[in-house]
Amino acid sequence: MPAVNSQPRRAHSGNRRDEAARLAVLHAADDLLVEHGFGALTIEAIARRAGVAKQTIYRWWPSKVEILLDTLIEDSDKRLSVPTEHPTAETIRDYLRGFARFLGDDPAGKVLLALIAEAQHDPATAASFHQRYLGPRREQERDLIARAIDAGEVSPRLGPDDTIDALVGPIVYRALTGSSIPHELVDTLVEDLLRPRSA
């Protein structure tokens, strides 16, 4: 019986990693998180949803956190890039508004919140999350602020990291407590912290 099955199931990629399986896992994880929350995000559920064997997940990811990090980094690069040119107060304000929208409306924002949360529960998650996501992004944000200062566009009284946390902190905290983030809040933060009276 020489294989006359009409649908060839999936064109298994042989020796190399199966890109279709990789994407199926990332999407399954994302969907499950958004639809049923982090509690429903088990490796078994992801495998089931993705139509993939558990071992395929364990072969490529050490934990479900790394799966989420993969999706977050991809989505984040796509839809929340740190501006690299023309750093003015407005540029920064627009970036923060985009960040607020990302956290509130984008499914990937839920992933970010879940990772912030899981990092509290598990030190390994914290380490990976800082190294792979928070660190690099902070690097870019520091650069943004530094260039805006150099150009005389803004003059915060705090150091770069303190400034960024003062701007980003309220937005994240609002998202964590399930509240909306109005433009007014973001705008006033930018005005009061980046262009204070005494400057």
Partner DNA sequence: GAATAAGCGAGACGGTACGTCTCGTCTTACT
Partner DNA sequence: AGTAAGACGAGACGTACCGTCTCGCTTATTC
**Interacting residues with a copy of itself (CB under 8 A):** 37-39, 113-114, 116-123, 126, 130, 134, 157-158, 161-162, 165-166, 168-174, 176-179, 182, 184-185, 188-189, 191-193, 196-198
Q: Which two structure tokens, joined as six digits, stand for 107?
A: 């499914």
Would you give the DSSP letter of residue 7? S
> Which one, 64 or 137, has the nearer CB to DNA?
64
> Which one, 1 or 199, has the nearer CB to DNA?
1
Give residues 96-155 in contact with DNA (rule: CB under 7 A): none
Shortest spacing between CB 145 and DNA, in angstroms: 38
CA distance 153 to 183: 20
55 binds, among DNA, a copy of itself, none (CB under 5 to 8 A by kind): DNA
Q: Could you give the string, one character per residue 7-26, with x where binding to DNA holds by CB under 7 A and - elsewhere? A: -x-xxxxxxxxx--xx-x--
C-beta neighbour count of 178 within 10 angstroms: 8
In 3D space, the residue among 52, 35, 34 whose CA is nearest the CA of residue 43 turns out to be 52
Shortest spacing between CB 108 and DNA, in angstroms: 21
Question: H-helix or E-strand containing 188?
Answer: helix 183-194
For the chain, the helix, strand and coil percentages under 3-state DSSP, each to the nearest 5? 70, 0, 30
Question: CA-based angle 24:26:30, to the nearest 5?
Answer: 115
> Which one, 18 or 187, has the nearer CB to DNA?
18
Q: Is 60 in the site for DNA (CB under 7 A)?
A: yes
114 binds, among DNA, a copy of itself, none (CB under 5 to 8 A by kind): a copy of itself
Shortest spacing between CB 4 and a copy of itself, in angstroms: 22
CA distance 80 to 96: 10
C-beta neighbour count of 83 within 10 angstroms: 16
> Which one, 24 or 92, has the nearer CB to DNA?
24
> Which one, 15 or 177, has the nearer CB to DNA?
15
